[in-house]
């Protein structure tokens, strides 16, 4: 009988955990490579306490998997806690994933119930649709699929012509307006599923953290100089060897509600495509909620993006 021991992750474990995660990505055919800097950024976060919110699984003293919970406190709409982790393929089907997920769901529920706010509470996890073992594991701990996100791709040759929007200018990302743009982003995403306001801390990570490329990002401003749209772009160079191309990612795109339907998102995307091509990339990628209320999926396809992968989000709603 396999003896599985769980203990909190320590900073000295990061390198070994990263190697395990990369091995699992290769085994599963995931079109991504987790780098150590990225993992360190995920675990060295104000909302992840290693002692209480992480667990490393060992079998006979050997690293077999890990998991952590990521609670995003909110004052509106909902409270949710995400579960992340991985199991070494050599240790799968031995109860390691179950032990980690059972711990993670219990810990996530504790975090959510500790909130003094009376908002709906959800524990969530996601995985690519082709990783069947992950979806079985989610189901075994009581999670149900609730959302589907598609990753779309387009080559950067040919490039569409740049677009103009009356009363709006598309300009490079400024050095001194991050807070103003954050507030516009939060307003733009207020009606999106699963979205709550992004804190200054996490906005800093998104705009200037691992993989961020503010030099290839853009905002839309109206005639009065107010921010009415944004496009945060990223670059994950380590993925190139896996996918066989060099992608620029349109990572976070939004238009404030009163300016929707005027072509701002299209103009931001096209400007990004030109920037990606100028930087020497071969393709552009973007992810979209298949039920996005703004019709984003149709827009992206009209600009030449085609679906290549799908992720499924599973959740438990706490009573």
For the stretch 29-71, pLDDT in tens is 999 999 999 999 999 888 899 999 999 999 999 999 999 999 9
Confidence at residue 74, expressed as pLDDT on a 0 to 100 scale: 86
Q: For residue 80, what are the β-bridge partners?
A: 72, 122
What are the strands of the beta sheet with 4-7, ordered from one edge? Answer: 4-7, 54-59, 62-72, 79-87, 121-128, 306-318, 144-155, 283-289, 247-255, 227-234, 218-222, 168-172
Evaluate if residue 115 carries a pLDDT over 90: no
Class of domain 152-310: alpha beta
- The alpha carbon of 157 is separated from its chain's Cα centroid by a whole number of angstroms, namely 27
Evaluate if residue 318 carries a pLDDT over 90: yes
Give the DSSP letter of residue 86.
E
Confidence at residue 294, expressed as pLDDT on a 0 to 100 scale: 65
Q: For residue 145, what are the β-bridge partners?
A: 314
Confidence at residue 11, expressed as pLDDT on a 0 to 100 scale: 95
- Where residue 72 falls among pLDDT bands split at 50, 70, 90? confident
Domain extents in the chain: 4-142, 152-310
pTM: 0.94
- Give the Å distances, CA to CA, from 298 to 128, 262, 273: 22, 15, 18
Q: Do 4-142 and 152-310 show the same overall fold? A: yes
| Pairwise CA distance, residues 183 & 200, whole Å | 9
Q: Are 213 and 246 in contact (CB under 8 A)?
A: no
- Give the Å distances, CA to CA, from 34 to 40, 87, 111, 178, 185: 10, 14, 26, 27, 27
- Where residue 291 falls among pLDDT bands split at 50, 70, 90? confident
- The architecture CATH gives domain 4-142: 3-Layer(aba) Sandwich (3.40)
CA atoms within 13 A on the CB side of 276: 33
- Where residue 78 falls among pLDDT bands split at 50, 70, 90? very high
Work out the average pLDDT over 213-220: 98
Evaluate if residue 174 carries a pLDDT over 90: yes
Strands 168-172 vs 4-7: parallel, antiparallel or unpaired = unpaired
The kind and range of the H/E element at 122 are: strand 121-128
CA atoms within 13 A on the CB side of 248: 26
């Amino acid at each position: 009988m396999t003896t599985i021991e769980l203990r909190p992750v320590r900073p000295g474990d990061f390198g070994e955990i990263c190697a395990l995660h990369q091995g699992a990505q290769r085994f599963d055919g995931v079109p991504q490579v987790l780098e150590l800097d990225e993992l360190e950024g995920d675990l060295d976060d104000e909302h992840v306490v290693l002692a209480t919110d992480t667990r490393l699984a060992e079998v006979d003293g050997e690293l077999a998997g890990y998991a952590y919970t990521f609670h995003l406190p909110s004052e509106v709409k909902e409270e949710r806690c995400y579960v992340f982790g991985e199991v070494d393929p050599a240790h799968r089907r031995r109860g390691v994933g179950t032990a980690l997920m059972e711990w993670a769901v219990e810990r996530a529920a504790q975090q959510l119930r500790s909130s003094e706010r009376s908002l709906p509470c959800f524990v969530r996890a996601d995985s690519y649709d082709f990783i069947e073992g992950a979806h079985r594991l989610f189901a075994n701990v009581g999670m149900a699929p609730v959302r589907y996100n598609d990753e779309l791709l387009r080559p950067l040759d040919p490039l569409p012509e740049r677009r103009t929007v009356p009363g709006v200018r598309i300009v490079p990302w400024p050095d001194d307006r991050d807070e103003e743009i954050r507030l516009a982003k939060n307003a733009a995403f207020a009606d999106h599923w699963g979205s709550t306001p992004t804190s200054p801390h996490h906005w800093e990570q998104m705009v200037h953290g691992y993989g961020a490329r503010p030099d290839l990002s853009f905002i839309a401003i109206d005639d009065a100089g107010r921010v009415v749209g944004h496009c945060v772009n990223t670059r994950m160079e380590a993925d190139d060897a896996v996918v066989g191309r060099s992608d620029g990612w349109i990572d976070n795109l939004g238009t404030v509600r009163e300016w929707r339907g005027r072509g701002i998102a299209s103009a931001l995307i096209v400007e990004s495509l030109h920037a990606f091509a100028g930087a020497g990339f071969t393709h552009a990628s973007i992810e979209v909620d298949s039920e996005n209320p703004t019709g984003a999926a149709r827009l992206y396809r009209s600009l030449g993006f085609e679906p290549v992968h799908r992720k499924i989000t599973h959740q438990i709603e706490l009573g």
